[in-house]
Structure 1
Amino acid sequence: MDKQDRLDFLYQKYLNNTATAAELQLLFQEMDSAEEGKLKNQIMQELEKADFSIAADDNRLAAVFAKLEDQISEAPKTISLWRLPAWAKVAAVVTAVLGLGLLARPYLVSEPEVIVPGGFHAALQLKSEDEPVDLNKAAFKRNIGGIQITTSPEGTITYTRKSDDTTGLQAMNVLQTPAGGMYKITLSDGSAVMLNSKSSLEFPVGFYGPNRRVKLKGEAYFQVAKNKEKPFIVEIEQGNVQVLGTTFTINTYNGQSATTLFEGSVRLTSAQQVQLLSPGERGIIQKRIITVAQVDTAAARGWTKGLFVFNNAPLGEVLAQVSRWYDISVDYASLPDRRLHMRLNMDTPFEEVLQMLSATTRLKFKMEERRLSVVNP
């Protein structure tokens, strides 16, 4: 069996969802070394000959997606699907999931605009200055009391304690990310926070007092440094989240607060309730009421790893994430009731994102002045 025949054989098993972990590993090796043009043509041929008559329900799609996730996690860590070219990463996963029959059709009724993915963009508002500092323009360095503030090209700002000087430590700074922006900050206590697009974090230069208190709007991923003497408190519009040392995300985009816990424990407090969370649980505060459920943590933290992860997600929720990252608006009134199972690199060109959305929903989209709408609900 020559190289092309072997690739054909493995790819068919992949599409039929019969590939073992070992075969999946070999397929990724073959795809990594294959000539890009031939591989892309092969995938497009599979898309074109797909059977559109097969009905796919959410439960079957969810089962296939879960099995694929398991296979990827079982493969040796040296083999990574996400090292493939962007189009191959998308097509490989989507075609595996869509072996049930939902595959690509023409997706746009208007000429696509040039829309690029987001990146490391943020501004820092210092209490001592009237205008925020654009962290994208140049390296930033500042000393406030015993705290040194520095930035890195990798989209990180770090507050480092250099001495016991407490001058100015209680001054509040605000880190803000725009649409299409993401940024990381290491606070003076060693806690790390990653801000998603259209988010802000208000925090003191240095933590001085009985607790460590910050304010969040938007979405962030927290890795809190342990300190039993100083609880870490995240204030949100709906209440607050208190921890000692743990890992979690908070999402406040939609008029509610969703806290997803990965490690440790947190305590949610609203005006009416107090609720403890365990790893794998999400607590939602809405209208002063807290509800808790087991959730898919991979989807909740996907953006922190540069991935959109959608497991049976409503189309509106998918496009809300996409719109913030690509800095577009969405006509939500035009959206039909669809749920998606997709996994995309966040550096995927926007046009390819639309192709994959069309593949999974069989919808056509229209872009006008950076506003996306559905034309065939």
Structure 2
Amino acid sequence: METQNNIKQTAELIIKFLKNELSPQEKKDFELWLNASADNRALVESFRNTETVQHELNYIAAVDINKGWEEVSKQIQVKPAKTFSWNKLTKYSAAAVLVVALGFGLYNYLSTAKTRQFNQSAAVHDIMPGTQRATLRMADRSRMDLGTSSFWLVGDNGRIALGAKKGVLYFGKKGKRNNIAGNNVLETPRAGEYRMVLPDGTKVWLNAVSTLSFPTSFNQTERRVELTGEAYFEVAHNKAMPFKVAFNQTEVEVLGTHFNINSYGKTSKTTLVEGSIKVTENGRQQLLRPGEEAVIDNGAVNIHKTDTYKSIAWKEGTFYFKEDSMTDIMDQLFRWYDVEIVYKGKPDTKRYSGNIRRQATLNQVLEMLNAVSGARFSLENRKVTVDFNN
């Protein structure tokens, strides 16, 4: 088990390595640590390949490392029931950013014997993350189970009508599989996600437990689809044919833009990344600008500025938590790992911030959550028990 001082030194070396600022002696020390374990190398590679690492490094150029480490050390010595605020991290040291912000994992990894409270028997049983899989129900009632395999279907006119490659579904612009009118439905199960390119060139990312209904061909006045669950859209621009997304009792209209819609619960959220969109609820139309989010609850629409990355992180392969409750976090795990969630005791009211790669196994995610919360997690078959009675 490493001491806090050793953890601090290792964290500083990793930060300097990521920033390419190692001195010759530090480079030797870092290489010794790196070569001491395959897990050490894997840990560093996971940080280097994470898109948010550079975003975090931008905060730490002029920070007092020792002062920041003292702040984090105070929190580490407290019982795990604590909240790491994303905003608070911006004034911490390089070590603090690595220890806390990058997936909760570095401190937990370097001081496993001291901090890990996760049920060790769970190491024998684990659940892998979701994959690219979906079901396509065609208007002619045919059905296709989609995964990562590739296929191409030729239409009546000899052109490509439908195909899939590397987890992306494609519809040909001029190829028709048949003349049947109606809607196709792309549906993702728990632990599944999929991408699609519509005939007009619009790109759609469909999250787990979601469906997108779309016509075999768009009419001449509009491009209309219906969504349940969550999807991210990059709409191909066509001024003459607005693109409309219907979900719950809401409609979003765009000409060409990038936005995310989350309609899992009673409260839906539409987040605009670029361009502009119109949100219509109960006949009232409101305009969204980039960086804004429309929260729709029981017919009321509230528009506010937001962190757009929080809404689209899922499509980038990341669980991104920012002032989220434990129940909100577990809702995401329920969909991505296809597990049942059971609570013991009253869920706490604390809020948690940080990020975890969606490629992590369920046990890895639960270990990270255990390191920053007062809850205990146990995994049996496909049931996760969250125990707040500590």
Q: What TM-score does the superposition give when structure 2 sets the normalisation length? A: 0.75
Between the aligned partners of 2:326 and 2:13, the Cα distance in structure 1 is: 26
- Which residue, out of 296, 314, 320, partners 1:309? 320
CA distance, structure 2, for counterparts of residue 32 and residue 203 of structure 1: 56
Secondary structure of 2:220's counterpart equals: coil
Indicate the residue corresponding to 1:34 in structure 2: 34
Which residue is 1:122 aligned to?
Answer: 134
Residue correspondence of structure 1 range 108-187 to structure 2 within 5 A: 108=119, 111=122, 113-130=125-142, 132-136=143-147, 138-144=149-155, 148-152=161-165, 154-162=166-174, 168=179, 170-187=181-198
Aligned equivalents of 2:215 and 2:91: distance in 1? 45
Cα distance in 2 between the residues matched to 1:319 and 1:124:
28
% same residue: 29
State how many pairs are aligned.
341
SS in structure 1 at match of 2:240: coil
Q: What is the alpha-carbon distance in structure 1 between the residues aligned to residue 39 and residue 75 of structure 2?
A: 17
State the AA in 2 paired with 1:63: N
**Aligned residue number for residue 78 of structure 1:** none
1:340 equivalent in alignment to 2:352: yes
Extract unaligned runs of 5+ from structure 1. 1-6, 72-80, 82-87
Q: Deviations over 1:220-262 (max 9, x none)?
A: 0000000000000001012111101000100010122210100
Q: CA deviation at 1:140?
A: 3.5
Asked if 1 retains the 8 angstrom alpha-carbon contact of 2:206 and 2:231, the reply is yes
Taking structure 1 as reference, are residues 92 and 14 closer, same or farther at Cα in structure 2, changes over 3 Å only? farther
Q: Residues 92 and 285 (structure 1 numbering): CA distance in 2 closer, same or farther, change over 3 Å?
A: closer
In the TM superposition, what are the counterparts of 1:355-374 in structure 2 within 5 Å?
A: 355-374=367-386
Contact 1:169/1:206 (<8 A) preserved:
no
2:163 alignment partner AA: T
Give secondary structure in 2 for the equivalent of 1:304. Answer: helix
Would the alpha carbon gap of residues 299 and 36 (structure 1) be closer, same or farther in structure 2, given more than 3 Å must change?
farther
Structure 1 residue 167: deviation in Å? Answer: 6.3
- Number of the residue aligned with 2:85: 61
RMSD (CA atoms): 3.9
Alignment of 1:41-60 (within 5 A): 51-53=76-78
Correspondence list, 1:1-377, <5 A: 11-13=10-12, 24-26=18-20, 34-35=34-35, 37=37, 40=40, 51-53=76-78, 61-66=85-90, 93-94=103-104, 104-108=115-119, 111=122, 113-130=125-142, 132-136=143-147, 138-144=149-155, 148-152=161-165, 154-162=166-174, 168=179, 170-331=181-342, 334=345, 335-377=347-389
Shift in CA distance, 232/36, structure 1 to aligned 2, threshold 3 Å: farther
Conserved in 1, the CA contact under 8 Å of 2:139 and 2:180?
A: no
Work out whether residues 81 and 373 of structure 2, in 8 Å CA contact, stay in contact via their aligned partners in 1: no
Which residue identity lines up with residue 116 of structure 1 in the other structure? M
SS class of match (1:343): strand
Give the Cα separation in 1 of the matches to 2:99 and 2:350: 23
Segments of structure 2 that go 5 or more residues without pairing to the other structure are 1-5, 44-68
Q: Distance in 2 between matches of 1:208 and 1:368?
A: 50
Matched residue, 1:3: none
Residue 207 of structure 1 and its aligned partner are, at CA, apart by: 1.4
CA contact (8 A) 1:177 1:196 kept: yes
Give 1:109 deviation, angstroms: 7.8
Whole-Å Cα distance in 1 between the matches of residues 78 and 228 of structure 2?
Answer: 45
CA contact (8 A) 1:159 1:205 kept: no
State the Cα distance separating 1:295 from its structure 2 match. Answer: 1.2
Question: 2:60 aligns to what?
Answer: none
Task: Confirm or deny: 8 A CA contact 1:139 1:150 kept in the other structure.
Answer: yes
Distance 1:258 1:169, change over 3 A: farther
Alignment deviations for residues 57-84 of structure 1 (CA, whole Å, 9 cap, x no partner): 75x622244568x98xxxxxxxxx9xxx
Structure 1 residue 31 displacement after superposition: 7.9
Deviates most, 169-178 or 241-250: 169-178
How big is each residue's C-alpha offset from its partner over 1:284-321, in whole Å with a ceiling of 9 and x where there is no partner?
12211111111111111111111111122111111111
Deviates more, 1:49-58 or 1:359-368: 49-58
TM-score, structure 1 as length reference: 0.78
CA drift at 1:338: 2.6
Contact kept in structure 1, 2:99 and 2:105, CA below 8 Å: no
Q: Residues 25, 64 of structure 1: CA spacing in aligned structure 2 closer, same or farther, 3 A cutoff? A: farther
CA distance in 2, matches of 1:274, 1:313: 29
Q: For residues 90 and 326 of structure 1, what CA distance do their matches in structure 2 show?
A: 24
| SS of residue paired to 1:114 | coil
